[in-house]
Amino acid sequence: MYIFEVLYKEHENIHAFTDKLEQMAINFMEKNEISFEAYEEAINFIKTYADKRHHQKEEQVLFKAMLENLGEMANNLINHGMIVEHNLARLYVWELEEALKAYKQAPTTVLKLKILTTIMSYVYLLRRHIHKENNAVYPYAKKNLPKDLIEKLDLEAKKYDGVL
C-alpha cells in the first residue's frame, strides 16, 4: 500500500525535522545564535515538503476518500481534527516568518520570544499531529476503506508524487 508507506515515511522525515528546528530554537535561546538563511531553509522545507508534499497530499487524496466513504466519524476526525491542525500549522509558519522579518529589522526581546514560541508551537503541534495520524487516523482508514479504493488511492498518491 504505497499511500500509507509514503505517508508514514514522510512523517519520519518531518519528525526528524522538528528535532532540528527545536535545536535551532535552543541555540537562539541559549547563545543568541540566529542564522536567517537557516530559518529560510527551514521555512522552505515546511512549505514545500511538510505542507505541499505531505499535508496537501493527505487532504487531496486520503482525507478526501475518507470523507466520501466513512461518514460522520471521518467528518469529525478529518474536518474538525486534522484539517484544523494543518491550518494551525500554516498560521504558525506565517507568524514565524513575520516575527523573523521584524527581528531582522529591529531585534527585541519580545520578538525573540515570539520566534521561540511560534517555533515550539509548530514543533509540538506537528509531533502530536503525527502521533494521532500514525496511531488513529491511518489505521482507521486502512481498516475501513475498501481494498479496491485503497489501490486507486495508491495510484493517485503516486501521481501526486510524480513517481508515475
58 vs 156, beta carbon nearer Fe ion: 58
Smallest distance, Fe ion to C-beta of residue 148, A: 24
146 burial level (CB within 10 Å; 0-12, 13-18, 19+):
exposed
Smallest distance, Fe ion to C-beta of residue 112, A: 30
Check: CB of residue 49 under 8 Å from CB of residue 137: no
Q: Based on the shown chain and the rule CB under 5 A, indicate whether residue 50 belongs to the binding site for Fe ion.
A: no
Among 28, 96, 115, 133, binds Fe ion (CB under 5 A): 133
Q: How far is CA 158 from CA 56, 146, 151, in A?
A: 14, 19, 11
Smallest distance, Fe ion to C-beta of residue 59, A: 8
Which residues make Cβ contacts (< 8 Å) with residue 50, sequence separation at least 6? 14, 17, 89, 126
31 vs 80, beta carbon nearer Fe ion: 80
Check: CB of residue 57 under 8 Å from CB of residue 161: yes
Binding to Fe ion (CB under 5 A): which residues in 11-30?
A: none
Size of the site for Fe ion (CB under 5 A): 3
Look up residue 70 and give its DSSP letter: S
Check: CB of residue 111 under 8 Å from CB of residue 103: yes
Binding to Fe ion (CB under 5 A): which residues in 56-95?
A: 58, 82
Smallest distance, Fe ion to C-beta of residue 128, A: 11
66 vs 99, beta carbon nearer Fe ion: 66
82 vs 141, beta carbon nearer Fe ion: 82
Element (H, E) at 96: helix 83-105
Smallest distance, Fe ion to C-beta of residue 83, A: 8
Interface residues with Fe ion (CB under 5 A) are 58, 82, 133
